[in-house]
């Protein structure tokens, strides 16, 4: 696959920052770029360099990162499933299994929004793990089983988002979400956002990556394996380090 080339405008939209910020990032070495020929050359970015930056920052990459190409043939001969269809099928799988009403029990349907939000408090990591468990159970009956060698290979493409939120007492708390990458798009699936924004109502909340600043103070994408390791760490080193980083960034604003 050819290495895509991006403009300053492209990268500013990907990172959701002003174009001038992109130029500053080039100047201080955070982002690699090259210039077109001529006296008024314009900056251009290789896809690999942008991906390198995103990886350093713990953000979803521009595309699925695979160790080997995916088989695209499935079902009837000559029938194929392209990248966009895989993305849509992935979203559909998590929509079907990831509703908090299913994860925490259908009894919540009878609760008020405030009571529902209270039930979800502190359970973000449980929602993520239970949603993945339910997805594994449903995987073999989905079209994705005809594309990926196994569930472990499929789930390796999914990222876990660790995010922080403001508490009413002024402190910070953590939540976790599922991140479904698709090229320069990333869909955020959050089953516990109602505990912070009850007006959103019950159910699975879907957001675009660019919308994250409206709901979260900061977010970092990690693998499921790293997420499980962080949860099992009784000292909570990873989560404490993440919160300190967010607190320091907030003080600078």
pLDDT at 189 over 60: yes
pTM of model > 0.85 = no
- For residue 65, the model assigns a pLDDT of 44
CATH fold for the domain made of 5-56 = Multidrug-efflux Transporter Regulator; Chain: A; Domain 2 (1.10.1660)
Q: Binning pLDDT at 50, 70 and 90, where does residue 166 land? A: confident
- For residue 60, the model assigns a pLDDT of 65
Angle at 77 between CA 71 and CA 83, to 5 degrees: 35
Distance CA 132, CA 4 (A): 32
66 φ/ψ angles, rounded to the nearest 5 degrees: -120, 145
- For residue 24, the model assigns a pLDDT of 84
- For residue 78, the model assigns a pLDDT of 39
Mark 6-28 as b/e (b = at least 16 C-beta within 10 Å): bebebbbebbeeeeebbeebbee
Report pLDDT digits (tens) over 50-99.
888 887 776 666 654 444 444 444 444 434 567 788 889 999 999 999 98
- For residue 248, the model assigns a pLDDT of 83
- For residue 111, the model assigns a pLDDT of 78
- For residue 181, the model assigns a pLDDT of 85
- For residue 73, the model assigns a pLDDT of 42
Put the strands of the sheet holding 5-6 in their side by side order: 5-6, 43-46, 34-35
Cα torsion through 215, 15, 51, 181, rounded to 10: 40
The mean per-residue pLDDT over the stretch 115-119 comes to 79
Report pLDDT digits (tens) over 139-151.
999 989 888 888 9
The mean per-residue pLDDT over the stretch 161-170 comes to 83
Range with the lowest mean pLDDT among 106-110, 137-141, 154-158, 173-177? 106-110
Range with the lowest mean pLDDT among 12-21, 128-137, 197-206, 236-245? 12-21
Range with the lowest mean pLDDT among 72-81, 161-170, 187-196? 72-81
Output 2 or 61, whichever has higher pLDDT.
61
Every domain of the chain and the residues it spans: 5-56, 83-252
């Amino acid at each position: 696959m050819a290495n895509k080339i991006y403009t300053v405008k492209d990268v500013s939209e990907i990172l959701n920052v002003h174009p001038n910020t992109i130029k500053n990032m080039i100047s201080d070495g955070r982002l690699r770029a090259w210039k077109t020929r001529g006296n008024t050359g314009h900056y251009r970015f290789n896809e690999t360099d942008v991906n390198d930056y995103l990886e350093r920052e713990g953000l979803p990459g521009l595309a699925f990162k695979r160790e080997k190409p995916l088989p695209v043939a499935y079902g009837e001969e000559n029938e194929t499933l392209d990248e966009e269809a895989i993305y849509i099928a992935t979203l559909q799988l998590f929509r079907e299994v990831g509703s908090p009403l299913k994860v925490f029990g259908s009894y919540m349907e009878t609760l008020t929004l405030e009571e529902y939000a209270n039930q979800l408090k502190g359970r973000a990591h449980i929602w993520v793990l239970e949603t993945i468990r339910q997805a594994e159970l449903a995987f073999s009956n989905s079209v994705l089983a005809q594309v990926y060698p196994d569930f472990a290979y499929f789930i390796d493409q999914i990222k876990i988002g660790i995010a922080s939120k403001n508490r009413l007492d002024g402190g910070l708390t953590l939540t976790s979400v599922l991140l479904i990458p698709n090229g320069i798009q990333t869909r955020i699936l959050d089953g516990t956002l109602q505990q912070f924004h009850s007006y959103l109502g019950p159910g699975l909340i879907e957001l675009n990556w660019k919308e994250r600043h409206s709901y979260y103070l900061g977010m970092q994408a990690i693998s499921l394996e790293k997420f499980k390791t962080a949860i099992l760490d009784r000292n909570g080193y990873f989560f404490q380090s993440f919160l300190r980083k967010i607190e320091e960034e907030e003080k600078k604003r």
